[in-house]
Structures are given as structure tokens and as C-alpha cells.
């Protein structure tokens, strides 16, 4: 059994399971391969089921930018 993350809202009629976008579902390999082939016909050029590794997915790190403090000088105040 492997874990798969979905990129679309999907209802698996054969399994009677509804999976929302970004949810994770556990499927056996044969069922997963069958569903991937069926979904490839419905969503050509898109990957709907992505296998999740044991380590999990790494979220992109946010960049931390320091807020720049702007100091106004006397000349800027006069010009404004």
C-alpha cells in the first residue's frame, strides 16, 4: 500500500471514495496504476495522483526579508 496525493477533487466510483484536492489516500499498487491510467484519459497532460514518499513532501521555505527602515533627511522633507 502506498500513499498518493491528489491534485484534483476526485470521486473514485469503484472504491466509493471522494478525495479532495491536496488530500492523501492510501491505495494498493494495482489499483493506483489502474486509476492513474483512467485519470490520464480524463485529464490528458496532467498528473492527478502523486505518490507521497515516507519522508513526506517538503514545503518551500519562505524567504525572510528584513523590513527596510527609511529615514527621511532634512533635504527630503524640504523637497516634499
At residue 54, the pLDDT reads 65
Q: Is the pTM of this model over 0.75?
A: no
- Name the β-bridge partners of 52: 3
C-alpha cell belonging to residue 53: 514518499
Question: Do residues 25 and 3 lie in contact, with contact meaning Cβ atoms separated by under 8 Å?
Answer: yes
Q: What is the total residue count of the chain?
A: 80
Determine how many CB atoms are found less than 10 A away from the CB of residue 35: 19
At residue 9, the pLDDT reads 93
Give the residue ranges of the chain where pLDDT is below 50: 58
Query: Where do runs of H (alpha helix) occur along 1-80?
Result: 29-42, 74-79
Amino acid at each position: 500500500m502506498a500513499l498518493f496525493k491528489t491534485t484534483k477533487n476526485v470521486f473514485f466510483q469503484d472504491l466509493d471514495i471522494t478525495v479532495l484536492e491536496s488530500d492523501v489516500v492510501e491505495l494498493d499498487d494495482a489499483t493506483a496504476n489502474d486509476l492513474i491510467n483512467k485519470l490520464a484519459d480524463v485529464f490528458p497532460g496532467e498528473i492527478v495522483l502523486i505518490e507521497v514518499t515516507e519522508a513526506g513532501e517538503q514545503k518551500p521555505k519562505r524567504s525572510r526579508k528584513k523590513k527596510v527602515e527609511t529615514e527621511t533627511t532634512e533635504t527630503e522633507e524640504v523637497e516634499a
